[in-house]
């Protein structure tokens, strides 16, 4: 599913990048990556794995306010922290370009109200 959302040349954001598993798929699809990870150890790992990517170290819930390129991403791919899932998903939608796409890993219980 993720690979079907990412096209060559897309600007892709992973707002809670963790160890970069989703970023690997996006990069393989030919995307230009922006990876955000707040945890220092995981952020350092991303620095080593994705030298060509733009890397940020912010709380993903605040990215729309912090990124100068808010609203510019063709695709957001995320496995957001389930502890504040709604805030992370809302922030992710806010940084999408018009017509942008999002692929998110969420618990089944998050779909109960849809």
What is the mean predicted confidence (pLDDT) over 23-48? 96
Q: What is the DSSP string of 46-95?
A: HHHH-TTSEEE-S-GGGHHHH-TTTT-EEEEEE---GGGHHHHHHHHHHT
* Phi then psi dihedrals of residue 31, to 5 deg: -85, 160
- Indicate whether 110 pLDDT > 80: no
Q: Distances from the Cα of 27 to the Cαs of 19, 22, 91, in angstroms?
A: 14, 9, 22
- Indicate whether 29 pLDDT > 90: yes
Whether 58 contacts 10, CB under 8 Å:
no
- Indicate whether 114 pLDDT > 60: no
For the chain, which domains are there? 2-108 (3.40.50.150)
pLDDT digits (tens, 9 = 90+) for 63-82: 999 887 667 999 999 999 88
Contacts of 113 (CB under 8 A, 6+ apart): none
Please indicate whether residue 1 or residue 36 has the higher confidence score (pLDDT): 36
Amino acid 68: pLDDT: 72
What is the mean predicted confidence (pLDDT) over 30-49? 97
Q: 8-12, 50-54, 83-87: which has the minimum mean pLDDT?
A: 83-87
Amino acid 70: pLDDT: 65
- Indicate whether 52 pLDDT > 60: yes
């Amino acid at each position: 599913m993720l690979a079907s959302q990412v096209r060559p040349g897309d600007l892709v954001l992973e707002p809670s990048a963790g160890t970069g598993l989703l970023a690997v798929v996006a990069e393989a699809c030919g995307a230009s990556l922006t990876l955000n990870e707040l945890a220092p150890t995981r952020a350092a790992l991303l620095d080593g794995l994705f030298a060509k990517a733009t890397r940020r170290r912010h709380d993903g819930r605040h990215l729309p306010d912090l990124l100068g390129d808010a609203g510019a991403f063709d695709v957001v791919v995320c496995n957001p922290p389930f502890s504040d899932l709604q805030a992370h998903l809302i922030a992710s939608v806010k940084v999408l370009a018009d017509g942008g796409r999002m692929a998110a890993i969420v618990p089944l219980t998050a779909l109960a109200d849809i």
